[in-house]
């Protein structure tokens, strides 16, 4: 299992809309992520900072499967403008598990 973490900034005026979008995450898109090998996505919000933790069987496969997926593309177009910065991948320096 591979793990990655990302940090990005949320535009404050989109806070409630971003939360609502994730509260209504489509079951069909969830199934696509699972089929691509995603096993966990957790997003945490502190003030305007978004922290996303993802576990997948193989990230290269996830990227390849979702690259041209219309559901994922629509999702990214929906939530992308709510972010104030590009996602930065964090360096894992410790893992206990």
Tokens of 48: 């305007």
* pTM to 2 decimal places: 0.92
On whether residue 95 sits in a domain, the answer given is: no
Where in the sequence is the domain holding 21, given as residue range(s)? 2-89
14-42 b/e (C-beta count within 10 Å ≥ 16 → b): beeebeeeeeeeeeeeeebbeebbbeeee
What is the Cα–Cα distance from 30 to 71, expressed in whole angstroms? Answer: 10
Tokens of 35: 């089929």
In this prediction, residue 97 carries a pLDDT of: 86
On whether residue 97 sits in a domain, the answer given is: no
On whether residue 94 sits in a domain, the answer given is: no
On whether residue 15 sits in a domain, the answer given is: yes
In this prediction, residue 62 carries a pLDDT of: 97
- Per DSSP, the chain holds a count of helices (H) and strands (E) of 4, 4
Indicate the number of domains in the chain.
1
Residues 47-70 have a mean pLDDT of 97
């Amino acid at each position: 299992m591979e793990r990655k973490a990302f940090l990005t900034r949320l535009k404050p005026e989109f806070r409630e809309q971003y939360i609502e979008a994730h509260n209504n995450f489509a079951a069909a898109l969830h199934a696509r992520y699972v089929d691509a090998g995603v096993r966990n996505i957790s997003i945490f919000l502190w003030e305007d900072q978004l922290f996303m933790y993802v576990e997948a069987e193989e990230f290269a496969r996830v990227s390849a499967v979702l690259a041209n997926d219309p559901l994922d593309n629509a999702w990214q177009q929906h939530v992308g403008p709510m972010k104030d910065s590009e996602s930065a991948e964090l360096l894992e320096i410790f893992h206990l598990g």
